[in-house]
Amino acid sequence: MSISITLNGEPRTIDDGLTIAALAEQIGLNPAKIAVERNLEIVPRSILAEVLLTDGDTLEIVHFVGGG
């Protein structure tokens, strides 16, 4: 089974039953270096490994980059 989400503005099909932390690791991201917003709400880092993604979710995954 798979579900459709929007990740950083792009549509993406992912396995059903993934937590946000599991998705991040699948993509190759270190969950300790990112912040996640799900459907416009911040997901505290402490529960990234608990929150299950559902069909239609909109995710923003950000990190720090160079800036002035």
Partner 1 sequence: MTDTHDTPDTWTVAGQTFTSRLIVGTGKYKDFAQNAAAVEASGAEIVTVAVRRVNVSDPKAPMLTDFIDPKKIVYLPNTAGCFTTDDAVRTLRLAREAGGWDLVKLEVLGEAKTLYPDMRETLKATEILAKDGFKPMVYCTDDPIAAKQLEEAGAVAVMPLGAPIGSGLGIQNRVTIRLIVENAKVPVLVDAGVGTASDAGVAMELGCDGVLMNTAIAEAKNPVMMARAMRLAVESGRLSYRAGRMGRRMYADPSSPLAGLI
Q: Are 13 and 3 in contact (CB under 8 A)?
A: yes
Q: In the window 27-56, what residues touch partner 1 (CB under 8 A)?
A: 27-29, 33-37, 40, 42-45
Q: With binding defined as CB under 8 A, does residue 68 bind partner 1?
A: yes
Q: How many residues bind partner 1 (CB under 8 A)?
A: 26
Distance of CA 59 to CAs 12, 29, 31, 46, Å? 10, 14, 14, 17
Q: Which two tokens stand for residue 13?
A: 């099909």
Q: With binding defined as CB under 8 A, does residue 22 bind partner 1?
A: no
Q: With binding defined as CB under 8 A, does residue 11 bind partner 1?
A: no
The backbone torsions φ and ψ at residue 16, rounded to the nearest 5 degrees and listed phi first, read: -75, 150
Binding site for partner 1 (CB under 8 A): 7-10, 27-29, 33-37, 40, 42-45, 60-68
